[in-house]
Copies of this chain bind each other. A is one copy, B any other.
Amino acid sequence: MTQLELNGVIQRYGSHTVVDGVDFRLAPGQIACLLGPSGCGKTTLLRCIAGFEEIAGGEIRLHGEPVSRPGSRVAPEKRRIGMVFQDYALFPHLTVEQNVGFGLDRRQAEHNHLRVRQLLATVGLAGHGDKYPHELSGGQQQRVALARALAPRPALILLDEPFSNLDVGLRERLSVEVREILKREGSTAIMVTHDQNEAFAIADEIGLMHHGRIQQWDTPYNLYHRPANRFVADFIGQGVLLAGTVGDDNSVHMELGTLVSDTPVECSESCTGCDCGCAVDILLRPDDIVHDDASPVQAEVLHKAFRGADILYTLRLESGSEVLSLVPSHHNHALGEKIGIRLDADHVIAFKKHAACGNDPACEIRLEQQAAQQQPGRHT
């Protein structure tokens, strides 16, 4: 059975299409994350599901029942969908406790009180119940919004960047606890987040959105290791695309050397029909390139970012191409220095090159997106 089902959902503000034919399915109890660049339509999609926005095309079903169609919809309050709003939307005239208890059945005062206190404790706000929202810090407000949405145990909960204003520790603790609460109460959830680690940690499935379309709806692992297209490859994790030529079955020849993977070269969908000799772009993650003083391939340090345990180096190859490499932070090289690197990739992700684009990656992404738009529904 599916809890939530979107079929070709389209939403427009005036003539501007913000959600452009989204379809996916969520089974009860599943937790999905929505990723995507700012302004790509994530919030709008959540608002469509919650019932706040009219849809211009497609259909949304809850438990198999249609709840939104062009021209008609079920009222938001009838959907049993909870929501944490990006701007919190706390009620300024109510205390923290009243805010959290707002959606609870008022006849069960005793029981509600317990639930509210318990949730406040979970989000680390025990003792703040009598405050008003304006007396809280940004992160505290955000946590109240989270507790408020969880309180009525909604069947489906939409979380719009619920942890964006929390520090890492709290955010990790909370995301684990929220995941536990959701799993325990059998709630289905969709969470928008900008933190990929968070998405990886919490989500059963991740949807990556761009320009109102879902680019890939997949498991965290696949999203990272088998990106459906260049945009996904570019957006998820870090990495660069480097030109190469497919050799015999398991190898790709590149400037850095030849990559040989255990399996045949995994050409991504957009590269079906990759043959020997075919020009491709290979996705290289920072951990695919290891610093090795012994390596004959030397690269110049262009930029370095301190990452705590590691330093992320941006390196320039002879050809002028740039690659990223993650190196333990005691290998502290200066800008301009040349260091040895070698390839250490397990599996190869290749995208077929468009002849028209020369060496312009932006052009490649554009062409790919255009191709995708001509085959709607392809990406699910």
Q: List chain A positions with a Cβ less than 8 A from chain B.
A: 13, 35-39, 42-44, 86-87, 124, 135-140, 142-143, 160-161, 164-171, 194-197, 200-201, 220-221, 224, 234-237, 285-287, 305-310, 326, 328, 330, 346
Select from chain B the residue with minimum beta-carbon distance to A192.
B138
In whole angstroms, how far apart are the Cα atoms of A224 and B305 in the complex?
A: 14
Contact B308 A197 (CB under 8 A): yes
Copies of the protein in its oligomer: 2
- A161 neighbours in B (Cβ, 8 Å): 138, 164-165
Report whether over half of chain A's contact residues are helix, strand or loop; otherwise say mixed: mixed
In whole angstroms, how far apart are the Cα atoms of A287 and B357 in the complex?
A: 41
Contact B196 A308 (CB under 8 A): yes
Beyond known contacts A37-B169, A39-B139: 5 more, CB 8 A cutoff: A37-B170, A39-B140, A165-B194, A167-B235, A237-B309
Select from chain B the residue with minimum beta-carbon distance to A123.
B38
Which listed residue, B37, B143, B166, B310, touches A287 by the CB 8 Å rule? B310
What is the CB-to-nearest-CB distance from A307 to chain B, in angstroms, rounded to a whole number?
A: 6
In whole angstroms, how far apart are the Cα atoms of A265 and B164 in the complex?
A: 38
Contact A138 B169 (CB under 8 A): no
Which listed residue, B139, B196, B307, B346, touches A38 by the CB 8 Å rule? B139
